[in-house]
Chain A
Amino acid sequence: MCARNSIYTTPKPCKHLADYKLRHGFNTYYSIRNCLKTTPNGRTRVAKHTTKIPRCSFCDRYQGRLYFCLMCSSLWCPTHILLHTQSEKGHEVAIDMNRSELYCCLCCDQVYDPDFDKVVVCNQVKDLPGGSKSKTNGFEACGERSSKRKRLDSGIGLDLKKSKLLVSMRDRRAKSCYPLGLRGLNNLGSTCFMNSVLQALLHAPPLRNYFLNDRHNSIQCRKRSGEKLCLLCDIDAISSAMFSGDRTPYTPAHFLYSWWQHSSNLASYEEQDAHEFFISVLDGIHEMESKIRNSGKDDGDCQCIAHRAFSGLLRSDVTCISCGFTSTTYDPCVDISLNMDTSNLSSSNANKPIKPDEKTGASTLSGCLNLFTRAERLGSDQKLHCQNCQELRDSSKQLSIRRLPLVLCLHIKRVEHSLVRKISRKINQYMQFPFSLDMTPYLSSSIVRSKFGNRIFTFEYDNSNSSAAYEIFAVIAHSGMLESGHYVTYLRLKNQWYKCDDAWISEVDEGIVRASQCYMLFYVQKLLYNEAIEDSSFVHISPRRDPFDSTAGCS
């Protein structure tokens, strides 16, 4: 994406609002504080007239938008508010009664003022149960922000600095002009699920750099753990093989054996699910590294390469419908599984039939992400205990992303379970996805902020927009049916797409990738992506090991 203003650029106040503030400062803002009433879901209304129905002072209308003049507290509908401003000098600014948002009568448009928002939001936080004491409404401590930023910077700094020291080495044995690191993987019997994920993992910039920089030393590892199998050593071996320059398809037999040992429940010649495999590989890497470092750190702070690359933090807000009390929890995650945003499925709309000509648009990634972060009313059979009400209440739950990972793996759930017929079906619907992705709207700061209306008040832990911009580098596509399908990986190297279909690598046009049936999408933070493009022609020569040695296990 070219230079685009951040979604939350503070709009400048109009001339009228600016003048108004010069004259009155915050006085009128403070005076309406007592008239604001917040409902449990976060909406704030101006509720001065508790007995009378609010009506327009000119036409008596009570429906639709009504504006409350900040100067004289009179009420007007949009059509007649201009009359008021014209007759009374200085009464230019009003507040939308239902939304508590500012309106400039002369510009006939909504206007924004961070000071006003501050007053309103403070009121909202105060009104909602647990407000002033808890941190659930978005006012996190500043300290948290700075430590998070330090973590992110160190993550980037580590890999980029090292890659700058790499020695340039062009492989003379390469028959084609394919970039280094591109190599087919032989199918060992329905193992396309494994090959596709390996291709994506090995080309994820943090992991690629990790192995190329020889961060996992096999010799030392074998010394330490004896004969025990190490997934990292095996991946390291595959990585060396991939980047060796040899273009003949590689057979990852040793890795398959190690993985079978680790995930014995999945050890068979049946087709497995690529996403399940992905999770189990990350788990295996984590286990191995935590054994080495002898640390039992949980996923959030773990420094193993799997977590450093993929670990993010999800925020879950559960709000009581009756009183508005919100309880917030944070859970680490290594990927995000998304339901598809199609409303054409019969199973999801059994209770709410929709007109046949409605909503026939294609499914999109942003639609899926919106669905993921949408506030969802939990069913009456799922009542939760509200701390404030001290009983079981209906609640609504909303997810958002508190901290984004370096590498974002999005898993598109393409399985539909029919409880009625007790079968599972694959959803073949096409889903559109972008190559450049901005995750800002799905961050906790955006989601929590939007709960309170159109505010431009900044929360303490706003992420800078640069760390929410992602570029795609791998797509795992699935074709066929649930039980018998085929996975391929599309890799994007130096702005050229390649199809990795087990042993066969070929250049493809980006149109093919866009049209594919995506199952897993891999995005990396834009900063890392740009660096990866620059350095992908370099290979690090380790003083200890010649990367062109044929590795054991390649039978």
Chain B
Amino acid sequence: MKHSVNRPPTPDGAEDQGNEPILQEIINIKLIESGEKERLMEMLRERLIECGWKDEMKALCRAYVKKKGRNNVTVDDLVHLITPKGRASVPDSVKAELLQRIRSFLTSAAL
């Protein structure tokens, strides 16, 4: 249902990427500690609703459930179904805005 849709990109299993995951983690920790992550999530949710992305995902889920039957679908099925499509259809403007916010947060947090 609607809340199954809201998730950040899934990392591909346990990969060995050297230093990168560690930097990501540090950023993530900083974002969470300051409460900025929560604000960014809220903003992201609003944008995705406004541009109709959420409705599109909802429609995809509905169509799938209709095809398979209400009792033959699990949350996991739906997540696997819409994750690739969802990630591909996030508008560039939303991505740009998020990146901008994170960038400005990092420059202010680095001080």
Partner of B93, one of A107, A354, A453: A354
Q: Which residue of A lies closest to B74 (CB)?
A: A109
Main secondary structure of the interface of A (DSSP, over half): loop
Q: Mark A91-106, 1 if CB is under 8 A from B, else 0.
A: 0000000110101000
Report yes or no: B10 in contact with A64, Cβ–Cβ below 8 A.
yes
Query: Which chain A positions have C-beta within 8 A of B79?
Result: 65, 78
Candidate in B6, B29, B47, B50 with the most chain A CB atoms within 10 angstroms = B50
Known: A62-B25, A374-B49, A454-B3. A109 touches B76 (CB 8 A): yes
Give Cα distance in the complex from A427 to B38, angstroms: 38
> CA A183 – CA B6 in complex, angstroms?
55
Q: Across the interface, which residues of B come within 8 angstroms of A453, CB to CB?
A: 3
Shortest CB-to-CB span from A190 to chain B, Å, is: 39
A514 within 8 Å of B by Cβ? no
Q: With an 8 A cutoff between CB atoms, is B109 at the interface?
A: no
Write the chain B residue with the least CB distance to A5. B70
Q: Which residues from chain A contact B110 at a C-beta distance below 8 Å?
A: none
**A60 proximity list for chain B (CB < 8 A):** 14
Q: Name the residue of chain B whose CB is nearest to the CB of A58.
A: B14
Tell me whether A359 and B52 are in contact (CB under 8 A): yes
List which A73-116 residues lie within 8 A (CB) of chain B: 78, 98-99, 101, 103, 107-110
- With A352-B93, A454-B3 known as contacts, the answer to whether A358 contacts B51 (CB < 8 A) is yes
A293 contacts partner chain B, Cβ-Cβ < 8 Å: no
Shortest beta-carbon distance from B96 to chain A in Å: 10
Chain A residues positioned under 8 Å from B7 (CB to CB): 63-65
Mark each residue of chain B from 16 to 34: 1 if its CB lies under 8 Å from any CB of chain A, else 0: 0000000001001100100
Is the Cβ of A352 less than 8 Å from the Cβ of B50?
A: yes
In the bound complex, do residue A354 and residue B51 qualify as a contact, i.e. CB atoms below 8 Å apart? yes
Q: Report whether B75 and A355 are in contact in the complex, using a CB–CB cutoff of 8 Å.
A: no
Partner of B76, one of A41, A59, A108, A358: A108
Inside 8 A of B74's CB, which chain A residues have their CB? 107-110
CB <8 Å contact, B51 and A352: yes
Query: Complex Cα distance A353/B49, Å?
Result: 14
Judge whether B69 is part of the interface by a CB distance below 8 angstroms.
no
Q: Which residues of A contact B52 (CB under 8 A)?
A: 343, 358-359
* Residues on the A chain within 8 Å of B29, using CB: 53
Q: Which of B2, B9, B91 contacts A63 (CB 8 A)?
A: B9
Give CA–CA (A41, B3) in the complex, Å.
14
| Interface residues in B, total, Cβ within 8 A | 34
Chain B residues whose CB sits within 8 angstroms of the CB of A78 once the complex forms: 76, 79
B contact residues around A370 at 8 Å (CB):
55
Distance to closest chain A CB from B88 (angstroms): 11
A393 within 8 A of B: no
Contacts of B13 in A (CB 8 A): 59
Please determine whether B1 and A103 come into contact, CB atoms closer than 8 angstroms. no
Instruction: Let me know if B76 and A355 touch, CB within 8 A.
Output: no
Is the beta-carbon distance between B38 and A39 smaller than 8 angstroms?
Answer: yes
Whole-angstrom CA separation of A99 from B6 in the bound complex: 10
CB contacts (< 8 Å) of B55 on chain A: these are 367, 370
Q: How far is the CB of B89 from chain A (nearest CB, A)?
A: 8
The answer, among A53, A108, A343, for a CB contact under 8 Å with B51, is: A343
Question: Which residue of chain B has the shortest Cβ distance to A352 in the bound complex?
Answer: B93
Complex contact A63–B8 (CB within 8 A): yes
Q: Write the chain A residue with the least CB distance to B83.
A: A64
Shortest Cβ distance from B99 into chain A, in angstroms? Answer: 15
Residue of B nearest to A454 (CB): B1
Nearest A residue (CB) for B52:
A359
Asked if A61 CB lies within 8 Å of chain B CBs, one says yes
A48 within 8 A of B: no
Which A residues form the contact surface with B (CB < 8 A)? 39, 41, 53, 59-65, 78, 98-99, 101, 103, 107-110, 343, 352-355, 358-359, 367, 370, 374, 377, 453-454
* Those 5 A-B pairs whose CB atoms lie nearest each other, nearest first: A109-B74, A110-B75, A359-B52, A108-B76, A99-B3
Q: Please give 11 more A-B residue pairs, beta carbons under 8 A apart, in addition to A53-B28, A352-B47, A358-B52.
A: A53-B25, A63-B10, A107-B74, A108-B75, A109-B76, A354-B93, A355-B91, A355-B92, A359-B56, A453-B3, A454-B1
